[in-house]
Amino acid sequence: MCKKIVALLLAMAMVFSLTACGGGSSSGKEGSQSNSDELDWTAGADAEGGEVTIRFSTWRKSDEAYFQEIIKRFEEKYDWIDVELEITPDASAYYTNLQADLIGGTAPDVFDMHSGDTMVTYIDNGMIAPQTDFDYMANYSDTGKTATSLDGENYGFLIAYNYFGLLYNKEIFNKVGVTAPTTPDELVDVVNKLRDAGYDGIIYPGKTNGVGIGSAIQLGSMGTENYATLRKGIDDGSVVDISTAEGVTEAFNTLVTYTKNNVYYNAYRGIVYETGMTLFAQEKSALVYSGSYVYGEQDTYFPEIEAGFFPIPTYANNGLCYAEGAQVSCINAAGANLGAAKLWVEFLATPEISEYYCSNAKMFSTIAEVEPQFEEMEMIKNACSGYAIKPLEKFDNEMYWMSGLEKIYEATIYDGTEDIEGLIRVYRSQLEEYDLANQ
Amino acid sequence: MTGKNILQIARKKYNKKWKYILVTLPILFFYVLFSIYPNLKVFPMSFYDWSPISSIKTFVGWENYNLLFNIKRDLTVERLGNTLMYVAGLFVIQTILALVLALVLQKNTRKNTFFRAYFFLPMVFSTTMVSMIWAYMYDPNLGIINTILGVFGVEGYPGTDFFAQNAQAILCIVFVHIWANIGYPLTILVSGLNTISGDLGEAAKIDGANNWQTFKSITFPLLLPTLFRLSLLTVTTGTLASDYVVMIGTRTGSVPYETLASWMYKSTAYSTNYGMTSALGVIMFIILSIASLVQFVAIQKIENKILG
């Protein structure tokens, strides 16, 4: 018995001592964003320092040939720098590797990211070098800045952006005698006519996109500024009743209308992106929800189909498209050759390279006055009255409010819950309980 | 025996003991360093707000547990429920199936040896490969299961998402888990059956017992120790199983059939809130410890009662 007590006491002592060890490096909660002045931007910036190699990573396997061409041109211009291209085609595996490399100090000098939460976390921890003073900023569009800037600093170069909406099979539309709809009710009518002709509803890859269509419709209904203001307001506790924000009710009503009228393809919650494109290619349906970047991969996904594009109609009735950044090139703040990395990003942002990349990948440029040349460009642009892009956002209380908001999307997209006021009321009481203004 | 002899024997025993300790010391060192220490380290880590990509650690007390039990209560409860369903499904179905197969394939004939190898075969496939194959087979619109059911005119097929409901999704994943791993419990049970003396069965038959009575009164009680050890393993494996859940749903964002283990894995791989992940690890450790302890005590009591 005595031995057992001694063993228990020793175990407790060990755990206690470990608890004490864990706090060794504790400090305040504020982040440690990189300061541009403290970084050595001269390393690898000129030929005097000798030859250097920088690593550039991305998940864009379909753009490998374009990147190889850009690297060739870059190495011709800056002959002391070699660029090693590292591609991990699966985006989730790409992020797992990137995080492990960042922790282990072996991350590439320049790495691509999506504009979003992970990028904010890395910025917060000083892992991404600011690019605010870079030359390209003079030509960088507001669209780019919205997706890559935080608290007045710019942390990456968004090489391109895409419109999100519905791709439709022009041949089937002509055969059935329908045209691209502009209101939710028209879209319901179009889907019904297509169903009567033997085609299924809108292919929504719900499994890959999650509540993506919810964000798309909300951004399309509200516009970037109202969307950002609402989310900031929820986060700082100044907004508890989200129905007061412009476009919110219209967005949820749109989602409910679509679900209630069964406009989507069979079992859309279980559809992954590739399956969705296969079903579209097989002409099981004439409509698929996707980003316009898919035109760059048309030979892979739907080579035989002539596809049109229109924004998802909403009750806001503003014709706005939801737009999303493609990939943001970020500089590893701990990289050994920051000067060379800077030259690479500046090179990516030159008008010639921007036009070359966007024209081939069939995306839209973030550099002022660069008009990429690809067949579908005018058609996509003309289909939308404008676009709303998701901003780079940093929140302090996200863990309290984000899942509740997503639950409303899920209820409207997947369950078609009509009691939107009830959902918003429940959400309001949650926000009031959390009292985020005083967190 | 003289005093000198006693001293020599004692010295020999003493030397032998230290030899064993010396031999195990290197491996013990690495075991403590890479297994025990990191596991214990999770306890203090759960009281901090920290990220592996930052050197900043902030002591937040019970905040990470508050996050799991209050702020994310719905998620925690749902995933705990999924975990329990997973364990229960695995425990019941796998144990019964393995027992039936072991009884059928017990004798060492050429045919049985072939089938034992056949059932063991999926164990050599990688989890990723198995998960990908089954994920495609389960696809609601293009998967072979939906297609075949559709060909036979079953209403709603193709077009049925097997993963739309928690219980159904968990059952589908458990099925894959069992398909891929049935070889392991099968091998253990066949070995267990082969340790039971054939004389007992023959004696029972001479006394007029039929197959069921022989199984119920002789085979099953004597196999219980093996089954109990197996159940301990199954519960632990089921609770910690994240691979099939993660990989079958690998191309998904949030999935309704997430378990505690897959949640922990995803939090580690894609999130940077390691404090919450550590708290989740501690909770799983406590649940598993209690479950194992209860099982262990129950096994001891039942074994003592049945086997005397």
* C-alpha pair distances (Å), A11 with each of A7, A22, B20, B62, B275: 6, 17, 24, 21, 22
The shortest CB-CB distance from B57 to any of A14, A25, A269 is to A25
Helices (H), strands (E): how many in chain A? 18, 14
Contact A127 B57 (CB under 8 A): no
Cite the DSSP H helix spans in A23-141.
64-77, 91-104, 117-124
Q: In the block, which residue shows the tokens 């003079």?
A: A138
Q: Does A271 touch chain B (CB under 8 A)?
A: yes
Contact B270 A275 (CB under 8 A): no
**Rounded distance, CA B142 to CA B119, Å?**
27
Question: Domain for residue A175, yes or no?
Answer: yes
Contact B163 A270 (CB under 8 A): yes
Instruction: Output the pLDDT for position A21.
Output: 39
Instruction: Output the pLDDT for position A12.
Output: 43
Higher pLDDT, A349 or B107: A349
Does residue B176 register a pLDDT over 60?
yes
Question: Domain for residue A226, yes or no?
Answer: yes
Residues A135 and A40 in one domain: yes
Residues A67 and A122 in one domain: yes
Considering just the CA atoms, what is the radius of gyration of chain A in Å?
A: 25
List the single best residue of B53, B68, B71, B74 to mutate versus A (max A Cβ within 10 A). Answer: B53
Higher pLDDT, A158 or B291: A158
Give chain B positions within 8 Å (CB) of A269: 161, 163-164
Contact B269 A96 (CB under 8 A): yes
The dihedral region occupied by A283, where left means phi > 0, alpha psi between -120 and 50, and beta the remainder, is left
Question: Domain for residue A43, yes or no?
Answer: yes
The shortest CB-CB distance from A121 to any of B51, B56, B254 is to B51
Tell me which chain A residue has its CA closest to the CA of residue B143.
A275
Question: Domain for residue A366, yes or no?
Answer: no
Instruction: Output the pLDDT for position B57.
Output: 85
Least confident of A147-156, A325-334, B151-160, B275-284: B151-160
Least confident of A93-97, A298-302, B117-121, B200-204: B200-204
List the single best residue of B252, B267, B289 to mutate versus A (max A Cβ within 10 A). Answer: B252
Give the distance from CA A92 to its chain's centroid.
Answer: 13
Does residue B308 register a pLDDT over 80?
no
In what helix (H) or strand (E) does residue A197 lie, and over which residues does it extend? Answer: none
List the single best residue of A207, A215, A431 to mutate versus B (max B Cβ within 10 A). Answer: A207
Question: Domain for residue A369, yes or no?
Answer: no
Give chain B positions within 8 Å (CB) of A126: 54
Residues A145 and A117 in one domain: yes
Question: Domain for residue A209, yes or no?
Answer: yes
Tokens of A187: 């879209």
The shortest CB-CB distance from A267 to any of B57, B67, B141 is to B141
Give chain A positions within 8 Å (CB) of B164: 267, 269-270
Give chain B positions within 8 Å (CB) of A211: 253
Does residue B251 register a pLDDT over 60?
no
The shortest CB-CB distance from B253 to any of A210, A275, A400 is to A210
**Rounded distance, CA A344 to CA A340, Å?**
6
Instruction: Output the pLDDT for position B108.
Output: 85
Contact B161 A269 (CB under 8 A): yes
DSSP state of B123: G
Q: Cα distance from B41 to chain A (closest Cα, Å)?
A: 6
In what helix (H) or strand (E) does residue B187 lie, and over which residues does it extend? Answer: helix B183-195
Q: What is the mean pLDDT of residues B115-138?
A: 90
Tell me which chain B residue has its CA closest to the CA of residue A26.
B57
Contact B45 A400 (CB under 8 A): no
**Rounded distance, CA B247 to CA B224, Å?**
34
Q: The CATH number of the domain where A135 resides is what?
A: 3.40.190.10
Q: Give one DSSP letter per residue of A270-296, joined into a string.
A: G--HHHHHHHHHTTSBSEEEEEGGGGG
- Name residues 44-103 of chain A within 8 A of B (Cβ): 92, 95-96, 99, 102-103
Residues A153 and A168 in one domain: no
Residues A152 and A120 in one domain: yes
Q: In the block, which residue shows the tokens 């059935």?
A: A176
Residues A93 and A179 in one domain: no
In what helix (H) or strand (E) does residue A308 lie, and over which residues does it extend? Answer: strand A307-310
Contacts of B82 (CB under 8 A, 6+ apart): B166, B170, B257, B258, B259, B260
Residues A340 and A249 in one domain: no
Instruction: Output the pLDDT for position A68.
Output: 97
Tell me which chain A residue has its CA closest to the CA of residue B67.
A399
Is residue A199 within 8 A of residue A284, CB to CB? The reply is yes
Contact B142 A279 (CB under 8 A): yes
Contact A275 B142 (CB under 8 A): yes
Instruction: Output the pLDDT for position B15.
Output: 72
Contact B160 A267 (CB under 8 A): yes
Contact B56 A103 (CB under 8 A): no
Considering just the CA atoms, what is the radius of gyration of chain B in Å?
A: 25
Tokens of A356: 């070359």
Q: How many CB atoms lie within 10 A of CB A176?
A: 17
Instruction: Output the pLDDT for position B162.
Output: 85
Instruction: Output the pLDDT for position B250.
Output: 63
pLDDT tens digits along B32-91: 999 899 889 999 999 998 887 777 788 999 999 998 998 888 889 999 999 999 999 999
Question: Domain for residue A2, yes or no?
Answer: no
Tell me which chain B residue has its CA closest to the CA of residue A208.
B252
Indicate the average pLDDT of chain B: 87
Express as a percent the part of chain B with pLDDT over 90: 40
Is residue B84 within 8 A of residue B257, CB to CB? The reply is no
Q: Does A23 touch chain B (CB under 8 A)?
A: yes
Using DSSP's 3-state secondary structure scheme, residue A57 falls into strand
Instruction: Output the pLDDT for position B1.
Output: 58
Instruction: Output the pLDDT for position B2.
Output: 67
φ and ψ of B17, to 5 deg: -60, -45
Residues A256 and A316 in one domain: yes
Give chain B positions within 8 Å (CB) of A400: 71
Q: In the block, which residue shows the tokens 């997706």?
A: A147
Q: Cα distance from A26 to chain B (closest Cα, Å)?
A: 4
Report the number of distinct structural domains present in chain A.
2
Closest CA to A213 of A287, A117, A113, A296: A287
Q: Choose one of A349, A383, A409: the last residue of a domain.
A: A349
Tokens of B100: 């039936």
Give chain B positions within 8 Å (CB) of A434: 71
Q: Does A104 touch chain B (CB under 8 A)?
A: no
pLDDT band for position B249 (cuts 50, 70, 90) = confident
Q: What is the pTM of this model?
A: 0.80
**Rounded distance, CA A279 to CA B142, Å?**
8
Residues A207 and A89 in one domain: no
Instruction: Output the pLDDT for position B91.
Output: 92
Domains of chain B and CATH, by start? 62-307 (1.10.3720.10)
Using DSSP's 3-state secondary structure scheme, residue A52 falls into strand
| Segments forming the whole domain that contains residue A114 | 36-159+326-349
Residues A330 and A314 in one domain: no
Residues A211 and A294 in one domain: yes
Residues A177 and A279 in one domain: yes
List the single best residue of B39, B54, B246 to mutate versus A (max A Cβ within 10 A). Answer: B54
The shortest CB-CB distance from B56 to any of A27, A271, A284 is to A27
* C-alpha pair distances (Å), B149 with each of A62, B63, B153: 36, 49, 6
Contact A403 B49 (CB under 8 A): no
Tokens of A100: 């492990």
Question: Domain for residue A213, yes or no?
Answer: yes
* C-alpha pair distances (Å), B65 with each of B43, B47, B165: 12, 8, 28
Q: In the block, which residue shows the tokens 């289909």?
A: A383
A/B interface, count of CB pairs below 8 Å: 126
From first to last of its 439 residues, chain A has per-residue pLDDT tens of 555 554 444 444 443 333 333 333 443 344 566 777 778 899 988 888 889 999 999 999 999 999 999 999 999 999 999 999 999 998 888 998 998 899 888 999 999 999 998 999 899 888 999 999 999 999 999 999 999 999 999 999 999 999 999 999 999 999 999 999 999 999 999 999 999 999 999 999 877 776 788 888 989 899 999 999 999 999 999 999 999 998 999 999 999 999 999 999 988 877 888 889 999 999 999 999 999 999 999 999 999 899 999 999 999 988 889 999 999 999 999 999 999 999 999 999 999 999 999 999 999 999 998 999 999 999 999 999 999 998 999 999 988 898 889 889 888 888 888 899 999 999 999 999 989 998 7
Using DSSP's 3-state secondary structure scheme, residue B48 falls into strand
Angle (CA) A339 A52 B54, round 5°: 60
Instruction: Output the pLDDT for position B301.
Output: 84
Angle (CA) A304 A309 A313, round 5°: 145
